Amino acid sequence: MAHKSSQSDGLWYKRAVIYELPVKSFCDGNADGVGDFPGLIEKLDYLEGLGVNCLWLLPFFPSPLRDDGYDIADYCDIHPSYGTLDDFRRFLDAAHERRMHVVIELVLNHTSDQHLWFRRAREAPPGSIERDFYVWSDTDEKYRDARVIFVDSERSNWTWDPVAGAYYWHRFFHHQPDLNYDNPAVLGEILRVIDFWLELGVDGFRLDAVPYLVEREGTSCENLPDTHTVLKAIRRHIDERGPHRMLLAEANQFPADVRAYFGDGDECHMAYHFPLMPRIFMGLHLEDRHPIVEIMQQTPTIPGVCQWALFLRNHDELTLEMVTDEERDYMHLAYSADPQARINLGIRRRLAPLMGNNRRRIELLNSLLFSFPGTPIVYYGDEIGMGDNVYLGDRNGVRTPMQWTSDRNARFSKADPARLYSPIIMDPIYGYQGLNVEAQERDGSSLLQWMKNLIGLRKLFPVLGLGTLRFLECENRKVLAYLRELENDAILCVANLSRSVQPVELDLAPFAGFVPIEVLGYTEFPIIGERRYFLTLGPYDFYWFELQRRD
Amino acid sequence: MTSTGSSSSVATETRSASVDIVVGVTSYNDAATVGAVVAAVRDGLARHFAGAASRVVLADCGSSDGSPARARDSLRGTAEILEVPSPPTTDRLEMPYHRMPGKARALRGILATAQSLDARACVVLDAGIETVTPQWVHWLIDPVLTHGFDLVAPLYRRHPYEGALTKGIVYPMFRALYGVRLRQPITGEFACSSRLLGHFLDENVWDRDGAHAGIDLWLASSAASGDFRIGEAALGVRHHHAHADETLDLGTLVTQVIGSLFADLENRVERWQRVRSSVAVQPFGELATGNSLQPVSVDPEKLIESYRLGYRELRDIWTWVLPPRTILDLRRLMNGPGASFRLDDSLWATIVYDFALGYRLRVIAREHLLRSLVPLYLAWLASFIVEIRDRGEEDVEQRLERLCAAFEEQKPYLISKWRWPERVRT
């Protein structure tokens, strides 16, 4: 039996460095122009060398692919473009052999309208169990307090189905009907889906769109108590079937609302910290730590076994739902002057273009990602500074093929270039001819090598994954200083958010007698005394100091 | 010896009969000595641990000379021997430096058997050793059972020129990395507590590439990396019957031993990069004194000549891992009389560390890299011998202490380059 990598360390997800990838975009093993599991298996050595130890795979299930696979037509199989279940098993074994965990998507809220459950439901008589797998209504007037999320493409959360002769409820696209968790049979089926993948050996599930599971009149239909009842039942079920499997909640809400998804440590193990991401970008552009400190201070304490999932960019737009209108306007002016870069309420760009391809800024943001309390998630391609294509529609511009070499199709696929699922980035700055893994593997100073080192350092210091966070007061608001502490370990992080050299004086008196060791270069700094500790930081500089006691 | 189980030839025995002590003996074509070893074990257990329940476990690595039968014969009528299944012979194609193919599996079998018997202490001995005495059993086990130690490693008395690879690289680097002054971390014998043997069995070392040669060292580093009490038992002299005619060439020896040491670094980064300075381990046993050691003759001039030949032939390979300043320092060793040949301790430590980094980054094929270290090691050995010849054992100890201090002092050099590999060769 294959090694089940989650069985050894109960808190593995707190120590992990997660790598998010769409199977279709990573590597094409059968030359049909679409990435697949055989191709992914070929690239596991690369991922192991990068140092990531958890892979989060975007949906790879049978689907009409009208929402990049989040419209699932069969939960227990593989989309034929990506391979077979046997291919998936081989991938899982190969990942586990490399001591990598594997997290897959579990879209709880809705299915594709092509799913058997929906096709059966629309034909079934009203009131039957089959019909009630989804939420139906004779009018489109119910739940009017629920907002429309995809404002660019949907006008209502209700769509008329002529076959059923009724409206069905959907919080996302109209071709994604919401499942009805008031029907116990739905949860029963979802638990069977979970068992299927657990028995194959997956280590965790990313629970997509969890705030929307249940609908109640007179509410926003988000974050309702009955939704948490469903999630607790799922958690209990998973715990009963083996140790150390992880649930990651996607709840694009303010931290205070997300807190509920951890329960008392009996709901989800992890949840994304959505509002942090835009505020990091804002703090950088403003050259002011305030937006970052403010959101972290608003972040509630979570149970000890739980963890925030942190990211700079992902497969979706840089979402700006959880900022004020004024902040959103600022972000659009700062980061998406080109309206083509905007979608819904956010910005559809990768990290490097957002940073103007400024290496120092990219490194600074990654240093924050890897030293803030939470588990960092690296989006595929961002480790080499890949670019995007805002003209591809929807969010496809940040889902282009991985750039492996300067060969044809960036060695992503041997297919005819016209057959690729997406054009490869070919512009003069981010084009695959110059920006690719092979080139950066050879270049000791490349972003890829730098990321490898940073990931190694992150794994070296458990305090970064497990420790507490404490901001340090300093007069200069362009400088962000904070302590990560765990038992006797302490890491001091100092970051200059500005483009110019900055001085800073820190009150480190509680650490008098300690010596700061700069962890990247293992350089010993002067011993800390009772007086304020003075540092100078170059443009976008950051330091991590291990505070070592000198006896 | 108290027998606690029925006669058995395989270690698939259930947990029905727990014991206090398991003594495991590993053998491979040791018919000449295995009888004496298990007899010494039997006598040692009877003499020093008469009230304790114990079992002798034999893990034979596929002997063709009837070693297991000799072991059984030796105990016939006094005790029974439990045999763990012979490991497969797949890795016999590559003979390890300890000349025992499949040793990792043999060790694992012994430890698993000890665990299944709930043993409080487990000792492992090599059946090829000619100098095992009943007293060894006492010195190895007593610290575990009486004083609460988790690992007791042997400290063998050696001529100053013997075990030079351990003296020049393994011990100083192991000590600097893990902070434990374990003098001989690659010997095949040890005693461990039930807690540590459970830890060993959980470790991801058994099926790793190179386990056939590296398992002894990896178990030592595993213990040193954990929260375990470690002691060292002075056992006197270790003579192995096979050493005289089965010694590997130096290149293979360096490849296996130093390769094992370097390979382990990658797996224990979280530990060794956080360790500062080192601590002594608790001594047990009796350090023999006097002139009982066999004389060893080494001509440093020949070693120096080998180094100089190596410099001419291998310098281009060294430049892949060594910084320019080091290459220039090595060039200075090319001339001058042998009597004043000196390889500075700090220089030697940084050379070893740079090779460890080159090994990690695979700057060239690892075996080639390790073999290219041989002339440099011979330079260190020549320098060491020139310095210590005609000196007493205490002076030699002090000299080694200075070498170890240099390895500890240069550890930040290794860490800084490890964390930022683009600094290799700078």
In this complex, is the C-beta atom of B334 within 8 Å of any C-beta atom belonging to chain A? no
- Does B416 contact A460 at a Cβ distance shorter than 8 Å? no
Q: How far is B202 from chain A (nearest CA, A)?
A: 10
Q: Decide if B425 is inside a domain.
A: no
Q: Decide if B404 is inside a domain.
A: yes
- Choosing from B232, B254, B284, the residue where a domain stops is B284
Domain identity same for B278 and B305: no
Q: How far is A458 from chain B (nearest CA, A)?
A: 10
Kindly list the catalytic residues of A.
208, 250
Compute the Cα dihedral for B141, B146, B151, B152 and give only its sign: negative
What pLDDT is attached to residue B7?
Answer: 36
Domain identity same for B158 and B71: yes
Domain identity same for B325 and B384: yes
State the total domains in chain B: 2
The CA distance from B395 to B398, in Å, is: 5
- Choosing from B250, B284, B318, the residue where a domain stops is B284
Domain identity same for B36 and B185: yes
In this complex, is the C-beta atom of B363 within 8 Å of any C-beta atom belonging to chain A? no
List the single residue in A444, A445, A456 with the smallest CB-CB distance to B419.
Answer: A456
Q: What angle do CA B104, B108, B114 make, to 5 degrees?
A: 150
The CA distance from A292 to A275, in Å, is: 9
List the single residue in A460, A519, A523 with the smallest CB-CB distance to B270.
Answer: A460
Any idea of the CA torsion for A371, A375, A380, A382, to the nearest 10 degrees?
A: -20
Q: Is A270 helix (H, G, I), strand (E, B) or coil?
A: strand
Residue A114, token pair as written in the block: 């092509």
Residue A71, token pair as written in the block: 């419209």
Measured CA to CA in angstroms, residue B14 lies from B5, B73, B118 at distances of 10, 25, 11
Contact residues on chain B for A445, CB-CB shorter than 8 A: 422
Q: How far is B370 from chain A (nearest CA, A)?
A: 22
List the single residue in A460, A520, A524 with the smallest CB-CB distance to B420.
Answer: A520
Q: Decide if B426 is inside a domain.
A: no
Residue A151, token pair as written in the block: 């404002």
Contact residues on chain A for B276, CB-CB shorter than 8 A: 548
Residue B369, token pair as written in the block: 């890299």
Domain identity same for B267 and B368: no
- Does B416 contact A521 at a Cβ distance shorter than 8 Å? yes
The CA distance from A109 to A31, in Å, is: 34
Q: SS3 string of A64-111?
A: CCCCCCCCCCCCCCCCHHHCCHHHHHHHHHHHHHCCCEEEEEEECCEC
Q: How far is A449 from chain B (nearest CA, A)?
A: 8
Domain identity same for B152 and B245: yes
CA B73 to chain centre: 30
Q: Which residues span the domain enclosing B338?
A: 300-419
Query: Can you name the residues that pair with B152 across neighbouring β-strands?
Result: B191, B231
Q: What is the pLDDT along chain B (426 residues), one digit of tens a residue?
A: 444 333 344 444 444 578 999 999 999 989 999 999 999 999 999 999 998 999 999 999 888 889 999 999 888 877 778 888 765 555 555 667 666 778 888 999 999 999 999 999 999 999 999 999 999 999 999 999 999 999 999 999 888 888 899 999 999 999 999 999 999 998 889 999 999 999 999 988 888 888 778 899 999 999 999 999 999 999 988 888 875 445 668 888 899 999 999 999 988 998 999 898 999 999 998 766 666 667 777 889 999 999 999 999 999 999 999 999 999 999 999 987 888 899 999 999 999 999 999 999 888 999 999 999 999 999 999 999 999 988 888 899 999 999 999 999 999 999 999 988 776 777
List the single residue in B273, B412, B421 with the smallest CB-CB distance to A460.
Answer: B273
Contact residues on chain A for B412, CB-CB shorter than 8 A: 522, 524
In this complex, is the C-beta atom of B276 within 8 Å of any C-beta atom belonging to chain A? yes
Domain identity same for B269 and B311: no
Measured CA to CA in angstroms, residue A163 lies from A121, A124, A136, A178 at distances of 10, 10, 12, 17
Domain identity same for B408 and B360: yes
List the single residue in A449, A462, A522 with the smallest CB-CB distance to B412.
Answer: A522
Q: Decide if B290 is inside a domain.
A: no
Specify burial of residue B299 (Cβ count, 10 A radius: 0-12, 13-18, 19+). exposed
Q: How far is A545 from chain B (nearest CA, A)?
A: 13
Contact residues on chain A for B265, CB-CB shorter than 8 A: none
Domain identity same for B262 and B367: no
pLDDT digits (tens, 9 = 90+) for A291-329: 999 999 999 999 999 999 999 998 888 877 777 888 888
Short-list B17, B233, B235, CA closest to B144: B233
Q: Scanning every residue of chain B, which has its alpha carbon at the shortest distance from the alpha carbon of A463? A: B270
Contact B298, B389 (CB under 8 A): no
Q: Decide if B213 is inside a domain.
A: yes
Contact A44, A55 (CB under 8 A): no
Domain identity same for B274 and B319: no
In this complex, is the C-beta atom of B247 within 8 Å of any C-beta atom belonging to chain A? no
What pLDDT is attached to residue B293?
Answer: 65
What pLDDT is attached to residue B141?
Answer: 96
Q: Scanning every residue of chain B, which has its alpha carbon at the shortest distance from the alpha carbon of A8? A: B202
- Does A444 contact B416 at a Cβ distance shorter than 8 Å? no
How many residue pairs bridge chain A and chain B with CB atoms within 8 Å of each other?
A: 32
Contact residues on chain B for A524, CB-CB shorter than 8 A: 412
What pLDDT is attached to residue B14?
Answer: 44
Q: Decide if B18 is inside a domain.
A: yes
Q: Scanning every residue of chain B, which has its alpha carbon at the shortest distance from the alpha carbon of A446? A: B422
Domain identity same for B126 and B178: yes
In this complex, is the C-beta atom of B267 within 8 Å of any C-beta atom belonging to chain A? no
The CA distance from A329 to A332, in Å, is: 5
Domain identity same for B240 and B279: yes
- Count CB atoms within 10 A of the CB of residue B50: 10
The CA distance from B270 to A9, in Å, is: 15
In this complex, is the C-beta atom of B269 within 8 Å of any C-beta atom belonging to chain A? yes
Contact residues on chain B for A548, CB-CB shorter than 8 A: 276
Contact residues on chain B for A458, CB-CB shorter than 8 A: none
Q: What is the pLDDT along chain A (551 residues), one digit of tens a residue?
A: 344 444 568 899 999 999 999 999 999 999 999 999 999 999 999 999 999 999 999 999 999 999 989 999 999 999 999 999 999 999 999 999 999 999 999 999 999 999 999 999 999 999 999 999 999 999 999 999 999 988 888 999 999 999 999 999 999 999 999 999 999 999 999 999 999 999 999 999 999 999 999 999 999 999 999 999 999 999 999 999 988 899 999 998 888 889 999 999 999 999 999 889 889 999 999 999 999 999 999 999 999 999 999 999 988 888 777 778 888 888 888 888 788 877 777 888 899 999 999 999 999 999 999 999 999 999 999 999 999 998 898 788 999 999 999 999 999 999 999 999 999 999 999 999 999 999 999 998 899 999 999 999 999 999 999 999 999 999 999 999 999 999 989 999 999 999 999 999 999 999 999 999 999 888 999 999 999 999 999 999 999 999 998 86
Q: Scanning every residue of chain B, which has its alpha carbon at the shortest distance from the alpha carbon of A454? A: B419
Q: Decide if B50 is inside a domain.
A: yes
Q: Decide if B163 is inside a domain.
A: yes
Q: What is the CATH number of the domain that holds B230?
A: 3.90.550.10
Q: Scanning every residue of chain A, which has its alpha carbon at the shortest distance from the alpha carbon of B415? A: A522
List the single residue in A444, A460, A548 with the smallest CB-CB distance to B269.
Answer: A460
Contact residues on chain A for B421, CB-CB shorter than 8 A: 444, 449, 453
